[in-house]
Amino acid sequence: MTVTQLKYIITLERTRNFTKAAIICEVSQPTLSMQIQKLEDELKVCIFDRTKKPIELTKVGSAIINQAKRTIIEFNKIKEVIIDKKEVLKGGFIFRSFKN
């Protein structure tokens, strides 16, 4: 399971369309489909019911999407921590003189 795969399933859940999701994710539709299928194979579940138009989430798929969204939020917090730490380092040191 990769962060990219989680982003793909979140986007597909939002668009309910493989072609639109692929465009948003900036990958080909076959690539998006293959990665989602690989994730489903790894988890041994169907996240999406592909027989419906537009596609729908399965019950387990809904739970997976909810967790994926929380995971992406936490993943993005790592980037925020790095940015915050870099800003502190860029700021340099403040020297104060103390009078007796």
Residue 56 φ then ψ, to 5°: -130, 160
Per-residue pLDDT tens over the stretch 51-78: 988 999 999 999 999 999 999 999 999 8
Closest to 14 in 3D by CA, of 74, 60, 68: 68
Q: What is the pLDDT of residue 83?
A: 80
- Using the predicted structure, report yes or no on whether residue 46 has a pLDDT greater than 60: yes
CATH value at residue 34: 1.10.10.10
Residue 62 is encoded by which pair of tokens? 């809904």
Instruction: Tally the domains of the chain.
Output: 1
Q: Which residue has the tokens 């690989």?
A: 38
Q: What is the pLDDT of residue 1?
A: 95
Sign, CA torsion 41/44/48/50: positive
Look at the pTM and tell me if it is higher than 0.85.
no
10 CB neighbour count, 10 Å cutoff: 19
Residue 15 is assigned to a structural domain of this protein:
yes
Residue 92 is assigned to a structural domain of this protein:
no
